[in-house]
Amino acid sequence: MDFEPLFSAMKVSTSGLTAQRKRLDVVAENLANIETTRTEEGGPYRRRVVSFQEEEALVINSTEPGEAGGNDTSAQPTTMELQEFRGVSGQVREDSSPFTEVYDPGHPDANSEGFVKYPNVDIVTEMTELISATRAFEANVTAFNAAKQMMRKALEL
């Protein structure tokens, strides 16, 4: 019996779990720095977001001249086929939206006009991201457990 499809399903779920964990970590970092007006880089903390990209393993099938048989010496074009899904990679980047300015002349980071720049972190947006990432994480756990259960049932046969 070929178990490779079940292992592939587990790899996909594991990749999704890792990606969503990264997303949860970034949301936690954003929430922890919601009031940070001074960072090592200078200025307020800038919100971070994770963007995901699919990683695929490609196999290149090239045909050499004359390989097709007969007397044809023209080269066949190179073709690329998807061999296997390798997972999801998460790229963390900074959100370029503007900072929030609040009038607070007594704050140590206030500018000459009395305004303080606060991070571009919105608690509602972060909580929405948190709920979305949690649900996606749970869906990947469910898919992983389903693949594991199918493998167990296959072994019982």
pLDDT (tens digit, 9 = 90+) per residue, 17-36?
A: 999 999 999 999 999 999 99
Tokens of residue 130, six digits? 């948190």
Q: Which amino acid is at 80?
A: M
**What percent of the chain shows pLDDT beyond 90?**
56
Structure confidence at residue 154 (pLDDT) = 83
Q: pLDDT per residue over 103-139, tens digit each?
A: 999 999 999 999 999 999 999 999 999 999 999 999 9
Contact (Cβ atoms closer than 8 angstroms) between residue 121 and residue 33: yes
Per-residue confidence at 73, pLDDT binned at 50, 70, 90?
low
Rounded to two decimals, the pTM is: 0.74
CA separation for the pair 63, 65 (Å, rounded):
7
Structure confidence at residue 79 (pLDDT) = 58
Tokens of residue 50, six digits? 């994770």
- Overall number of domains in the chain: 1
Structure confidence at residue 146 (pLDDT) = 92
Residue 72 lies in a domain: yes
Residue 70 lies in a domain: yes
Residues 79-118 as b or e (16 or more Cβ within 10 Å = b): eeeeeeeebbebeeeeeeeebeeeeeeeeeebeeeebbbb
Residue 13 lies in a domain: yes
Residue 99 lies in a domain: no
What is the domain extent for residue 85? Answer: 4-34+48-94+121-156
Residue 28 lies in a domain: yes
Q: pLDDT per residue over 41-66, tens digit each?
A: 889 999 999 998 877 655 555 545 55
Residue 16 lies in a domain: yes
Residue 105 lies in a domain: no
Contact (Cβ atoms closer than 8 angstroms) between residue 120 and residue 72: no
Residue 68 lies in a domain: yes
